[in-house]
Amino acid sequence: MQLENFAEAGQFAPGRIAEALRTTRDEVARTVGLGRDAVMRPDRIASAKTQKRLREMVEILNRVEPRFGSSLVAYAWYRSEPLAGFSGLTAMQLVRDGRAGDVMDYIDAVEAGIHA
């Protein structure tokens, strides 16, 4: 996933992310824990919170895509695979709770061969 494919006018564009992941803007919003307005209204798209959440999701997907072979499979993992050590929570649930750093640490541990 090339980052420039998700950007427009210097910021992450929910429409481009949705198109690449073959989903809707509404689903992208839910996936990162934002309301519909956050990915529809230009002023809300540009907000620091919206851009942070979109960036976190894209960074996580970029880090796991090589393991899964496609952005769509990486997105499915992000949304549905419970992570060991997080009480059955998925990467998506952790990001929505503001714990993207924990997901990144988990990915680092798995890549280093440490059973997370």
Say if 27 falls within a structural domain. Answer: yes
Question: What does the pLDDT average to over 99-104?
Answer: 96
Residue 44's domain spans which residues?
Answer: 3-111
Q: What pLDDT shows up at residue 9?
A: 82
pLDDT, tens only, 76-95: 999 999 999 999 999 999 99
Tell me the average pLDDT of the chain: 92
Q: CA 113 → CA 20, 32, 44, 107, distances in Å?
A: 30, 28, 40, 10
Q: What pLDDT shows up at residue 76?
A: 97
Say if 72 falls within a structural domain. Answer: yes
Q: Which of 40, 51, 46 is nearest to 3 (CA)?
A: 51
Question: What does the pLDDT average to over 20-39?
Answer: 95
Task: Please state the domain count of the chain.
Answer: 1
Phi then psi dihedrals of residue 113, to 5 deg = 90, 10
Cα–Cα distance measured from residue 11 to residue 83, given in angstroms and rounded to the nearest whole number? 29
**In the predicted model, is pLDDT for residue 10 greater than 70?**
yes
Place of tokens 């549905």: 80
Say if 116 falls within a structural domain. Answer: no
Q: Encoding tokens for residue 95?
A: 């990001």
**In the predicted model, is pLDDT for residue 1 greater than 80?**
no
**In the predicted model, is pLDDT for residue 2 greater than 90?**
no
Q: Residue 115 — pLDDT band, cuts 50, 70, 90?
A: low
Cβ-based burial of 87 (10 A; exposed 0-12, middle 13-18, buried ≥19) = exposed
Rg (CA), the chain: 14
